[in-house]
Amino acid sequence: MDAELSNAPLVVVTGGLGRVATVVLPWLRKHYRVRLIDSAVRAQRTAGLVQADLGDPEEARDALAGADAVLHLAGNSSPWQTWDSVYAANVWTTQVVLEAAAAHAVPKLVLASSLHALGEYNRPQYWPVDPRLDPRPCCPYGLGKVVLEALGRTHAERTGASVTCLRLGLTGWPPAERRYLGQWLSDDDAGRLMLAALQSRERYGAHFGVSANTRNYWDITSARHELGYRPEDDSEALADRAGPSSGPVCRLFDPETSD
C-alpha cells in the first residue's frame, strides 16, 4: 500500500470480483484503502480480497468491520431472473449488508441500483427520464432494485448514515447494440461516478448513472448537482460499431426503443 494511503478511509466493496468493481477499482485505490468482499472462490490471489457469504449476518458483520464506507455492488444482474432468485441474491443480501453497516455505524453507503427500477419509462414520451418519477420496474430484477432503494432510504432515516443509490446503466461493456447507446456508462465515467457518490454527504438520494450521452434518455442532472458527477464520455463515439438488437431482454425495451 502507498504510504500516503495508509491512513486513508477504508471502503468495503461487495461483489468485489464482479464486472463493476473491476472497472472502478483503479479509481477507488487512488483515494481509499479498499477491502473487496466476494463469495466466489478464485485460484489467483487478489489484494485486499476477503471471501464471505453476505447472506450470512455474522460473516457480513465481520466483513464490514472498520469500514468508513460501503460500496454495495454484490448481486445477480440478470433481467431474466425469477423473483425468488432476485430476493435471495439481491434483496436479502442488501438487508444483511445494511444491518451489518448499522452495527458498525458506517457513515456512508453507496448501493448499486439499476435503470431497470424505472425501466417502464424508457419510452420516447418520457425522454430524458426524470429520476424523481415514481418507480416503474420493467422486470423482477428491477423490482428488486426498487426494494433496495427503499431499504436504503429507511436505513438513512433510521441511522443517520448517508445513503446514495446509483441506477447504473450498461457498465463494464461496450454498447454493442444501438438500444444500449442511451444507457451506456463508460469505465472512466463509472469511476468518476463512484468517487462522487462516496464523497457525497446527502442524507439519501437515487440518481441515474450513465455517461454524457448524446442520446439523452436518462436525466443525470441530479447526479451532476447533488453528487458533483462530471461525466466526460459519450456513446455516440461508438455508434458506428453498434448493431441491431439481438433479441428480447425485458420491458426496459419495447419495439420503439429496441434500435
Distance between CA atoms of 116 and 136, rounded to whole angstroms? Answer: 8
Catalytic hit among 32, 141, 217, 229? 141
For residue 151, the surrounding DSSP H or E stretch is helix 140-159
Contact 89, 47 (CB under 8 A): no
Measuring CA to CA, which residue among 151, 140, 14 is closest to residue 83?
A: 140
Contact 251, 184 (CB under 8 A): no
Measuring CA to CA, which residue among 226, 238, 230 is closest to residue 183?
A: 238
141 catalytically annotated: yes
- How many CA atoms lie less than 13 Å away from 92 in the CB half-sphere? 13
What is the phi/psi pair of residue 251, to 5°?
-75, 0
Residues catalogued as catalytic: 141
